[in-house]
Structure 1
Amino acid sequence: MASTRLTAESRAQALATLEASTDIATELDVLVVGGGVTGAGIALDAVTRGLSTALVESQDWAQGTSSRSSKLVHGGLRYLQMLDFELVHEALTERDLLLRDLAPHLVRPVPFLYPLEHRVWERAYVGTGIAMYDILATLTPGRRPMPFHRHLTKAQMEAKFPDLAHDAAVGAVQYWDASVDDARLVTTLVRTAASYGAHVASRTQVVGLTQGSTGTVNGAVVVDLETGREITVRARAVINATGVWTEETQDLAGHPDSPAGGLRVLASKGIHLVVPRDRIQGHAGLILQTEKSVLFVIPWSRYWIIGTTDTPWHLDPVSPVVTSADVDYVLDHANAVLAHPLTRDDIIGTYAGLRPLLQPGTKAGTPSAKVSREHTVASPTAGLTVIAGGKLTTYRIMAKDAVDFAIGQRSAALPSITHQIPLTGAIGLKAVQRQARAWAKRFGWNPPMVDHLLHRYGSNLTDLVELCEADPSLALPLEHATAYLRAEVHHAVTHEGALHLEDVLAHRTRLVYEVPDRGVDAAAEVADIVAPLLGWDDVAKQRELDAWRTRVDAELAALRAPDDESAEEAMRGADRIAPWQPLRTS
């Protein structure tokens, strides 16, 4: 296995490999475009089949939808209402596989309450549905990692969630799902793929697709956004996993108006509010039905995440943000069931993401497509595979389907084995959990800090310990963000591929919405730690700080805006640290 470390140097080596893929002798088997959870999962699936694999992402890993989700790993209760038992079973199987074997450090069980407004018929109806949810999970091979659901009386419900309004429900059903830091899952997938030999490069944008004399896609033109250097990559198969950018990417092969022109995707905006854990008294999450969507109140780390919405988005997919109207909508629905209503002053963070919803236009009966209710794989032109839809929980199934489709008949001889591949940090987890007690005593880490570190890094916590042993100042918390160690910032650059200040503040940590100032006060200390690691001089460091400040100012201005159009206008003031390049349609 290669190293799991993602660095500026490993990125340069990956780009060199891409540049050398000039003919049949050196071409890649698979080039994956898009570094969200789907693309990262595809890269891991392909490389563990023995295929030479590269993964490129135009910005940072998980920059888009995959860092802006509800952070749930779940089966999808709503599909039971559609009687889609197969789909729910598939998602529950993936949930339990992650919890039990693949990523037990990252994915954790979370209890949820489904409040009931009617004593008899609703308890019977909801209870039957959630019992089926448990039965479908029990059919999953291996040890069951979750407790069974329970029916709660009103008194039991209030003990579990004291801040639920007294008249909001007559009782509840408690069931279990799981949560994950979505951006960390993606980074972990990328690191795991790299450890098996995948060539991975962030801040590397595909601006064109190359085609042979017969029109078959045989590679791509990419631009290193850090230097402006252009590279032509040759690959036997190109897989487009770019989410809400699906249509723009597939159109690089030409024929965007063809009836078989690939997948059609509609972006739908979902927003979340973040409030401190002590602001709501509860020991479980809530799931509530609204007229437009499902509202979750999710216990996550030191916070509650409250969301989401589901509204069409027709503007620039680069900058979805939370508006004043979005905040009002979520607060109104949450406060309808909370004994102590939240105000805007309670909100310390917000974020918005775009779901890539599949639209009619691709037929499952044709040889160029495989369609499920959740995701679709298609081939609009030979050599190019496109996948869209789906959700975080089923990324591994999506990846398997995409690679199977891309390599065709070879998939029978090279089946997917990712159900047997633990992600980095999972192997040796129990031993490191025991060793962590001695490290906590040595470095003065309290139990919440140790839990935080084990949850984020698993057995890779040993890497941080080595950093702290070499430089004891790294074992200290950040002055303005004490939930994180200075070592975590260092590690983000030396092991997790962070290239810019925003990579650390938005994706390696989540300070972008975990502190009221969105990481502005902590930014200078973070920049001081990463500057020597990335070779920044004072001018470069100040540019990074200025870019972060303009982003935060733009997001706060957007938060005051009454609608999406006004918010997008406000976001145009943000300074893009590595701007996108124009695309080149054939």
Structure 2
Amino acid sequence: MVTAARLGPEERARAWQDLGARELDVLVVGGGVTGAGVALDAATRGLRVAMVEQRDLASGTSSRSSKLFHGGLRYLEQMNFVLVREALKERELMLTRLAPHLVKPVKFLYPLKHRIWERPYVTAGLTLYDRMGGARSVPGHRQLTRTMARRIVPALKKDALTGALLYYDAQADDARHTMMVARTAASYGAAVLTSAKVEELLRAGERVVGARVTDVETGESHEVSARVVINCTGVWTDDVQEMAGGRGRFRVRASKGVHIVVPRDRINAEAGMILRTEKSVLFVIPWGTHWIIGTTDTDWDLDKAHPAASREDIDYILDHVNEVLSTPLTHDDIEGVYAGLRPLLAGESEASSQLSREHAVARPQPGLISIAGGKYTTYRVMAADAVDAAKEDLGPGVVDSVTENVPLVGAEGYQALANQVERLAREHGVPAWRVQHLLDRYGSLLTEVLHVAEGDSSLLQPVPGAEEYLRAELVYAVSHEGALHLDDLLARRTRISIESPDRGIVAARDTAELVAPVLGWDADRISDEVAAYEARVAAERESQSEGDDLTANAERLAAPDIRARAVGRALD
């Protein structure tokens, strides 16, 4: 069993110094799930790999998805059977072999509104879904009468459905999953560096031979030599391609997807729901003690780093979900809101909801590979395709992808520990539900998290203002999981920023003071991090009260990214 690599401050410092000291086989640009997947794929083929990300792991689209591993029922309607079959295979791998500690089954109710044609139509689709791989590790779909459906989801209006079907998919914390993919890549030898920005691509004639990378935390730069650079930057794909001196083989279009988070008790239900809208579908997704509801699907051509949710977006979600709920949701019920940008391949249609979710790989010039499009569920396939495309630059002898058989860190031993929850709870003096919560976030690495608290029992206390998490998890996030800033901790290593009504404000200072010794923060730096986080929350709240994208974007940009100020601190 491979030993899980640490991504702490000391490991980052060593990785940074090593970055400019040797030629790489592969330099991966972008730390979302695709970039992390490429780093893992390349490292497990025996290649020398580094992955650089200008902000945090999963800080873009990969922390702002619907958090589902699914085949995509709506792609069946588009007759995209290849994509659905591929996605269902990946879902099965995650549930059974690669990440059973992170990816879990989730059941959905599909309400029917039309009495004659809709049930046979949806039944045909779900039967095909099951037979294409959707009913291997989870049950197949079930037929429900209206009475049976309302027993499972009492929150539904009686006249909102004539009957229903129940089916299964899977879900995961996307930010945590992406981080675990990156950490697994590091465990197999890849260098993983966040706050590392590519300033330019290095060229020898028309060939890309590396990149100049700046440490955003210090301002120091390295010229990094690589036999091939793989561009995995999502909605920034075109920007990186332009660094190489021209446009690439495809263009990427950003589509904004907004989700809201509400408390679990606001919707009386034992299953999620998938609701048809005039444009696409709307999911109501169980999320611990909360529900995630979304998503929207609209073009976005404003700030890519911090897409803003407007009141129009939120109203759209509330209006559609309230069509079926007996007790309507209001703005006051909303605990969290998040917006992400899907990197869609441009050109297939004017409607973003119809743009292709298949991915494309191109080699626009020697030494540069770009990959874009796709969906979170198929990241592993995308990664393998990108590294395969790089063989032309890497030369003979590159073996085939093996990631189908490489579990993520925390997967090995997970099943055994799942049978020992009560024992672990007794040994560490914490409730069994907390041990289960840790197990489903860390898998077999939960013993490392608990080890952090040895000698300091206060770390086994809940985080003030976010009682679902333990203080030890925050320390572990900076010592082992690569978190460098308060925002990394509250928005991605935990999901406090969308799960707490105060958006993490109450937890902010305690968290900053807790991790300060590990990150070397003094009192001024603690105050700076807290102030920056509070400004982010205020800006997001203001943006969500604005009626349109333009004004929402302006309000969100009122709070500068804490990383944009890091170099200034280092040079003071």
Q: C-alpha distance in 2, partners of 1:138/1:77?
A: 10
Q: C-alpha distance in 1, partners of 2:65/2:151?
A: 29
Pair 373,319 (structure 1): closer, same or farther in 2 beyond 3 Å? closer
Aligned position for 1:241 = 232
Structure 2 SS opposite 1:298: strand
Q: C-alpha distance in 2, partners of 1:114/1:238?
A: 44
Which amino acid in structure 1 is aligned with residue 379 of structure 2?
Y
Q: C-alpha distance in 1, partners of 2:363/2:378?
A: 21
Residue 73 of structure 2 corresponds to residue 72 of structure 1? no
Which amino acid in structure 1 is aligned with residue 462 of structure 2?
P
Residue 314 of structure 2 corresponds to residue 314 of structure 1? no
Aligned position for 2:274 = 287
Residue 430 of structure 2 corresponds to residue 445 of structure 1? yes
Residue 97 of structure 2 corresponds to residue 101 of structure 1? yes
Specify which of 264, 267, 272 is matched with residue 259 of structure 2. Answer: 272
Which amino acid in structure 2 is aligned with residue 397 of structure 1?
V
Worse-matched range after superposition: 457-466 or 566-575: 566-575
Do the aligned partners of 2:421 and 2:432 also contact (CA within 8 Å) in 1? Answer: no
Q: C-alpha distance in 2, partners of 1:424/1:411?
A: 30
Aligned position for 1:159 = 151
Which amino acid in structure 2 is aligned with residue 418 of structure 1?
T
Aligned position for 1:24 = none
Q: How does 1:493-572 map to 2 (within 5 A)?
A: 493-572=478-557
Residue 42 of structure 2 corresponds to residue 46 of structure 1? yes
Aligned position for 1:219 = 210
Residue 421 of structure 2 corresponds to residue 429 of structure 1? no
* Cα offset, 1:412, TM superposition: 7.3
* Cα offset, 1:470, TM superposition: 3.0
Q: C-alpha distance in 2, partners of 1:416/1:107?
A: 22
Q: Deviations over 1:454-473 (max 9, x none)?
A: 11011000101211223211
Structure 2 SS opposite 1:578: helix
Percent sequence identity over matched residues?
A: 54
* Cα offset, 1:300, TM superposition: 1.2
Structure 1 SS opposite 2:564: coil
Residue 468 of structure 2 corresponds to residue 483 of structure 1? yes
Do the aligned partners of 2:4 and 2:409 also contact (CA within 8 Å) in 1? Answer: no
Q: How does 1:319-334 map to 2 (within 5 A)?
A: 319-334=306-321
Do the aligned partners of 1:374 and 1:389 also contact (CA within 8 Å) in 2? Answer: yes
Aligned position for 1:368 = none
Q: Deviations over 1:331-383 (max 9, x none)?
A: 0000000111001111110000000110139xxxxxxxxx9861000011110
Q: Deviations over 1:243-287 (max 9, x none)?
A: 00000011101123xxxx332111110000000011101111111
Which amino acid in structure 2 is aligned with residue 47 of structure 1?
A
Q: C-alpha distance in 2, partners of 1:186/1:580?
A: 25
Which amino acid in structure 2 is aligned with residue 398 of structure 1?
M
Do the aligned partners of 2:345 and 2:357 also contact (CA within 8 Å) in 1? Answer: no
Using the size of structure 2 for normalisation, the TM-score is 0.95
Q: Deviations over 1:20-43 (max 9, x none)?
A: 02xxxxx10000000000000000
Aligned position for 1:367 = none
Do the aligned partners of 1:219 and 1:234 also contact (CA within 8 Å) in 2? Answer: yes
**Structure 2: segments with no counterpart, 5+ residues:** 349-354, 568-572
Residue 225 of structure 2 corresponds to residue 229 of structure 1? no
Q: C-alpha distance in 1, partners of 2:565/2:215?
A: 10
Q: CA RMSD in A?
A: 1.7
Pair 580,42 (structure 1): closer, same or farther in 2 beyond 3 Å? farther
Aligned position for 1:193 = 185
Structure 1 SS opposite 2:559: coil
Residue 382 of structure 2 corresponds to residue 398 of structure 1? yes
* Cα offset, 1:293, TM superposition: 2.3
Q: C-alpha distance in 2, partners of 1:580/1:195?
A: 31
Aligned position for 2:79 = 83
Q: C-alpha distance in 1, partners of 2:403/2:432?
A: 33
Aligned position for 1:380 = 364
Q: C-alpha distance in 2, partners of 1:138/1:517?
A: 38
Worse-matched range after superposition: 431-440 or 245-254: 431-440
* Cα offset, 1:319, TM superposition: 1.6
Pair 581,218 (structure 1): closer, same or farther in 2 beyond 3 Å? farther
Do the aligned partners of 1:179 and 1:300 also contact (CA within 8 Å) in 2? Answer: no
Q: C-alpha distance in 2, partners of 1:294/1:129?
A: 15
Aligned position for 2:351 = none
Q: Deviations over 1:475-517 (max 9, x none)?
A: 1111211100000001101110111111101100011110011
Aligned position for 1:10 = 11
Aligned position for 2:352 = none
Residue 170 of structure 2 corresponds to residue 178 of structure 1? yes
Do the aligned partners of 1:263 and 1:386 also contact (CA within 8 Å) in 2? Answer: no
Q: Deviations over 1:526-557 (max 9, x none)?
A: 01110011011101111101110111111111
Aligned position for 1:455 = 440
Pair 468,580 (structure 1): closer, same or farther in 2 beyond 3 Å? closer
Which amino acid in structure 1 is aligned with residue 118 of structure 2?
E
Q: Deviations over 1:282-307 (max 9, x none)?
A: 11111111112210001111110000
Q: Deviations over 1:384-417 (max 9, x none)?
A: 0000001110000000000000123857750000
Using the size of structure 1 for normalisation, the TM-score is 0.93
Q: C-alpha distance in 2, partners of 1:111/1:2?
A: 34
* Cα offset, 1:450, TM superposition: 2.2
Number of residue pairs the alignment of both structures matches: 559
Aligned position for 1:250 = 241
Aligned position for 1:20 = 21
Specify which of 59, 66, 89 is matched with residue 63 of structure 1. Answer: 59
Structure 1 SS opposite 2:390: helix
Which amino acid in structure 1 is aligned with residue 198 of structure 2?
V
Q: C-alpha distance in 1, partners of 2:442/2:13?
A: 25
